Every structure is written in C-alpha cells, then in structure tokens.
Amino acid sequence: MSKKKIAVLASGRGTNLQSIIDGVKSGQINNAAIELVISDKKEAYALERAGNNGIEALWIDPGAFPGHAEYNNALLQEMHKREIDLVVLAGYMRILSEGFVKAYKDAIINIHPSLIPAFCGKGYYGERVHMEVLEYGAKVTGATVHFVDEGTDTGPIILQKAVEVDREDTVQSLAKRVLEVEHTLLPLAVDLYCRDRLRIQGRRVDIETE
C-alpha cells in the first residue's frame, strides 16, 4: 500500500499540525507522508513548524487573488502538483470553495472544538465556540473530526470525544482541555483514513476492523 500524501491547511499556531507531524514520526499514523503545509497567514507559526520538520511550507496570500474561487483554485493547483491524497484542515480559518470540496470529495478532514451539531456552523470558530458553550450553560462539550462537504461543519462525523464543563471554567481553561482532546482525535482520524479503514454510508462513517 503506497503512502497517502497529506497536505495540511493552517492559519495559526499549528498545534494540531504538530500532532500530525508527531503521529507520523512516532508511527501512530501509518501509511502517511506530510508533503505540504499551506497557510493564508504569512506569520502563521504553522509554517515554521513545517520548516522545522523538513516539510514544504507555503504562504499563499488571499489578497493576491481577485476572489474566493480564484484563491481556492490556486490551492488546488498546489495539491495537484504534489498528487495530494488527503487534505487536513488544522485550524484553517477560511471556508473552502465548492470547487475545492468537489475536487477532494470525501478526502478533506476538519477538526472542530465542539460536539457537532452543537456550537458549530458559520462564525463558530476559535474562542467563540467555548464562550458560547459557557454562556449556554452546557455541561458537556468536546471535539469532533469530520469530513468536509459544501456546508459549514456539516460533513459526516468520523470521531468525537466529550469534555466535561466545570463550573469554574473560563474560555481559556476550557479551550485548553478541548485542545488536548483534539491532539488525540485528529492523528487517530488521519491514521484511519490513511489505512483505508473509513467507510461513508450516507451521514454515517463506519470504522472497519483490521
């Protein structure tokens, strides 16, 4: 089985990217090679993480393109050049175009810091998710890894794990515990994909036994 070629899109610190890098290095993620990291932010630390680990890193400036579709087409060109098999969104703060999603149907994975379908959708990213969880008085939140479709946080769910909300939690303390879960779930989902163990049946994702 040839290794799956992975591209990671990230906008910020890249801690979830690091969890994938570490997973590949340790053997937790099998049959995989990270070929490319792209950011829409020139100063994103994710790019430095990639460079520190010998991974090609690109900043592609959205402002250099006339519109959303053109920018996404530029991303696609970079994917096609490297024959990328799987695209992972690791703290990527832009919505992918319909054309991009269609080109990589069932081959884009995203991590979201809540238990979808709660606290997700348009505008729900970063600290806002945890703020809404606390303001709503939810007792449980968590993290979700899902396939990306044409909607926002609406694709089939691969993995989820719950995190209890403490009465004393702040946005920062809750975000920290959820992020720890993300760092566990995302490498696991990438490994399952790269070992061809995921089967999509409608909205359900089944994990095949080895």
Integer Cα distance of 18 and 196 in angstroms: 22
Kindly give the pairing relationship between strand 108-112 and strand 86-89. Answer: parallel
Catalytic residue among 112, 130, 146, 183: 112
> Comparing C-alpha atoms, which of 166, 190, 193 is closest to residue 178?
166
Give the pair of three-digit tokens for residue 202.
Answer: 């409608």
pLDDT at 2: 85
Number of C-beta neighbours around residue 174 at 10 A: 22
pLDDT range class, residue 21, cuts 50, 70, 90: very high
In the prediction, which pLDDT does 1 show? 67
pLDDT at 210: 75
Q: Are 189 and 109 in contact (CB under 8 A)?
A: yes
For 78, other C-beta atoms within 10 Å of its C-beta total: 16
User: Can you give the pTM of this predicted structure?
Assistant: 0.95
Q: CA angle, 80 as apex, 79 and 86 as ends, to 5°? A: 50
Angle among Cα 189, 104, 42 to the nearest 5 degrees reads 80
Whether residue 10 contacts residue 36, with contact meaning beta carbons closer than 8 Å, is answered with no
Q: In this model, does residue 100 exceed pLDDT 80?
A: yes
Is residue 17 within 8 Å of 37, Cβ to Cβ?
yes
CATH of segment(s) 4-207: 3.40.50.170
**pLDDT one-digit tens code per residue, 125-170:** 889 999 999 999 999 999 999 999 999 999 999 999 999 999 999 9
Q: Is the pLDDT of residue 86 over 80?
A: yes
Please indicate whether residue 112 is annotated as part of the active site: yes
When the pLDDT of each residue in the chain is averaged and rounded to a whole number, the result is 96
**172-206 pLDDT, tens digit each:** 999 999 999 999 999 999 999 999 999 999 999 99
Q: What pairing do the DSSP bridges indicate for beta strands 32-39 and 108-112?
A: unpaired
What percentage of the chain reaches a pLDDT higher than 90?
Answer: 95
Half-sphere exposure of 64 (CA within 13 A, CB side): 10
Q: Would you say residue 8 has pLDDT above 70?
A: yes
